[in-house]
Amino acid sequence: MKHVLSVASECAPLVKTGGLADVVGALPGAMIGQGWAVRTFLPGYPAVVQALEKPRTVLKEADFFGGPVKVLSGRAEGLDLLVFDAPHLFERDGSPYLDAGGADWPDNALRFAAFSKMAARLAGGAIKGWRPDVVHGHDWQAGLVPLYLRDDANRPGTLLTIHNVAFHGLAPASAIASLELDRADFTSDGFEFWNQISALKAGIVYSDKINTVSATYARELLTPEFGMGMDGVLKTRASDLTGILNGIDTDLWNPATDPAIQTYTTPRGKAKAKAALRAEFDLPVADGPLTVVVSRLSEQKGLDALLNALPALIDHGGQLALLGTGDKALEAAWRAAASHPNVGVHIGYDEGRSHRMIAGADAILVPSRFEPCGLTQLYGLRYGTLPVVARTGGLADTVIDANPVALASGVATGVQFHPVTADAIAGAFARLLDLWRVPDVWAKMQRNAMRQPVGWEASAPLYAALYESIAR
Ligand code: ADP
């Protein structure tokens, strides 16, 4: 067995704001069969520290980035965890990144620099009897790990996974000393990004290999349109950058056992779940397809464009139910849209409801402007809830558009559209309705969707090969 230290700011089901958490939580289970034992290093948020079963202190420092810290080892939710118990940095209410008022914690750069520095120590062998072959960092929160490890001759191989390039992990140049960085690396070949420190850029520059979560997004990242300013530096690393598609937890998202749908291997199960979903969102009985959205409400997700496409959807007999939270202006706009009888909106974060929605709906819409992988379209596929997606990133890689050739060869699983505009979304709905009106075609697409592998079976061996290529 070989060993990986996975370093991340989120891990489902303990702490989650998005798909990153799902992937970090699923990776250990996916990799064990490949001969890789994954230990996950997480910040000591209250929920994580409390969840640890029989924690043991494996490391202690009286003053680490401004306060006393410990590293706890233990299990929680079936995961083998190391936890950075640093009360002055992580013992806070609110989300991992935001205070109760929704603003970034002012010391985020310091919090995750300390976390990354401790990760580098663990990776370098600070725990007696355990030394990983690979350290696998996720997003900017772990971006500094390979830089802190750079001068360690015995360091493990380093991998950075970019789940979302939009978050750069910036800090002012004046923070170089407090983040325990070296001013000599504050250059355009180092961690300097437009005269600021960027933890993400450090990860890109100093990791042995870099990957992202779909092949299409890996290509898109090299373009100005999608690279968000990192396309230049990513191009210099293009030969070390690959795309490996995320899987979903097929036990958690299993229509055969999910209480949200009970016996949905039969159309009757779906009909029951749909009726319950209509009731839950106060939607009238109707003949058209019921489409759902489960999403963060942010510019990325294209839900402003969807608002403008709503009339086209509803005028043709469709219904829409949305679950989401995030941007306050979008929350208000969607609350207002719910005044239409065929639009149901729930503002909030609610896992149980998300299962009931994906179980009961006919289609799931993902109109993202960019989408590294996307998970909800994969849930949709598994539940026979046909995805209607923007043709970008992982959405493009996971949904087979119902074009004439795909329909004729019987392989279609959903609808793709481009660009993310109200007109294009309306056009996609029109195509969805055409498919809906031919029940045999719809049922065939549902069967195709449900048969598509959406777990980790294809991607786990790819991660194993990537780990193997950098292991030291
Ligand atoms: P991102 O990471 O950009 O938010 P993904 O599609 O990769 O997008 O992952 C989002 C994850 O968060 C999915 O598991 C989705 O079901 C979940 N999710 C998003 N918003 C909500 C919500 N309001 N309630 C419940 N689950 C949500």
Return the ligand 1 atom nearest residue 377 CA: 6
Residue with tokens 């800090």: 171
Instruction: Take atom 9 of ligand 1 and give the residue whose Cα is closest.
Output: 19
Percentage with pLDDT > 90 across the chain: 92
Please state the separation of Cα 260 from the chain's center in Å: 23
**Confidence grade of residue 330 (pLDDT, cut at 50, 70, 90):** very high
In this prediction, residue 316 carries a pLDDT of 84
Q: Which atom of ligand 1 is nearest to the CA of 354?
A: 25
pLDDT digits (tens, 9 = 90+) for 295-326: 999 999 999 999 999 998 888 889 999 999 99
**What's the pLDDT band for 270 if we cut at 50, 70, 90?**
confident
> In which band, very low, low, confident or very high, does the pLDDT at 69 lie, cut at 50, 70 and 90?
very high
**Which residue's CA is the nearest one to ligand 1's atom 17?**
18
Between the alpha carbon of residue 99 and those of residues 96, 104, 441, the distances in Å are 8, 6, 49
For 49-74, give the secondary structure using H, E and C: HHHCEEEEEEEEECCCCCCCEEEEEE
pLDDT bucket at 457, cuts 50 / 70 / 90 = very high
- Our CA angle for 85, 88, 92, nearest 5°, is 85
d(CA 250, CA 290): 24
Question: What tokens were used for 386?
Answer: 């046909």
pLDDT in tens, 402-442: 999 999 999 999 999 999 999 999 999 999 999 999 999 99
C-beta atoms surrounding 147 within 10 Å: 26
Query: Measured between alpha carbons, how far is 142 from 140 in angstroms, rounded to an integer?
Result: 5
Name the average pLDDT for the chain.
Answer: 96
With 0-12 / 13-18 / 19 or more C-beta atoms within 10 angstroms meaning exposed / middle / buried, residue 115 is: buried
CA neighbor of 163 nearest in space, from 115, 109, 101, 217: 217
pLDDT digits over 229-247, tens only? 999 999 999 999 999 999 9
What are 195-242's pLDDT values in tens digits? Answer: 999 999 999 999 999 999 999 999 999 999 999 999 999 999 999 999
Looking at residue 237, its amino acid is: R
Residues 59/412, Cβ–Cβ less than 8 Å:
no
pLDDT at position 31: 98
Strands (E), 327-433: 343-347, 363-366, 386-390, 415-417
Q: Pick the atom of ligand 1 nearest to 373's CA.
A: 7
At 267, the pLDDT band (50, 70, 90 cuts) reads low
Distance CA 186, CA 192 (A): 5
Q: Whose Cα sits closest to atom 18 in ligand 1? A: 295
In testing the pocket of ligand 1, which one of 258, 346, 354, 365 has its CB within 8 Å of the most ligand atoms?
Answer: 354
CB count within 10 Å of CB 415 equals: 26
Per the model's pLDDT, the better-predicted residue between 85 and 314 turns out to be 85
Q: Mind listing the pLDDT tens digit for each residue in 86-118?
A: 999 999 988 999 998 889 999 999 999 999 999
User: Does residue 262 register a pLDDT over 80?
Assistant: no
Choice between 95 and 59, residue whose per-residue pLDDT is larger: 59
Domain boundaries, the chain: 2-247+456-470, 267-451
Task: Report whether the peptide linkage leading into residue 419 is cis, meaning its omega lies within 30 degrees of zero.
Answer: yes
pLDDT of residue 265: 54
Residue of 55, 42, 54, 56 whose CA lies nearest to 14: 42
User: For 240, phi and psi rounded to 5 degrees?
Assistant: -110, 10
239 residue type, one letter: S
Pair 211, 243: CB distance under 8 Å: yes
- Residues 394 and 378: their CA atoms lie apart, in Å, by 10
Give the number of other Cβ atoms within 10 Å of residue 86's Cβ. 23
CATH code for the domain defined by 267-451: 3.40.50.2000
> How far is residue 124 CA from its own chain's centroid?
28
Q: DSSP code of 301?
A: G
- For ligand 1, atom 19: residue with the closest CA: 295
248 Cβ contact partners less than 8 Å away, ≥ 6 residues apart? 22, 26, 375, 378, 379, 382, 454, 455
Question: Residue 394: what pLDDT?
Answer: 98
Q: How far apart are CA 181 and CA 104, in angstroms?
A: 22
Is residue 127 pLDDT above 90, yes or no?
yes
Measure the CA–CA gap between 412 and 389, rounded to whole angstroms. 13
d(CA 224, CA 232): 8
Q: Contact at 8 Å (CB) between 164 and 129?
A: no
Q: Which atom of ligand 1 is nearest to the CA of 358?
A: 16
* 263 has pLDDT over 70: no
Quote the ligand 1 centre to 232 CA distance (angstroms): 29
For the segment 333-385, what is each residue's pLDDT rounded down to a tens digit? 999 999 999 999 999 999 999 999 999 999 999 999 999 999 999 999 999 99
Residue of minimum CA distance from atom 24 in ligand 1: 349
Q: Beta partners for 56?
A: 73
Task: Assign domain 2-247+456-470 one CATH number from 3.30.70.141, 3.40.50.970, 3.40.50.2000, 3.40.190.10.
Answer: 3.40.50.2000
* pTM of full prediction above 0.85: yes
**Of 141, 181, 162, residue with least CA distance to 219:** 162
* Local structure of residue 183 (DSSP, 8 states): G
Cα–Cα distance measured from residue 140 to residue 162, given in angstroms and rounded to the nearest whole number: 8
**Token pair belonging to 322:** 């949305």
Q: Give the Å distance between the CA of 68 and the centre of ligand 1.
A: 34
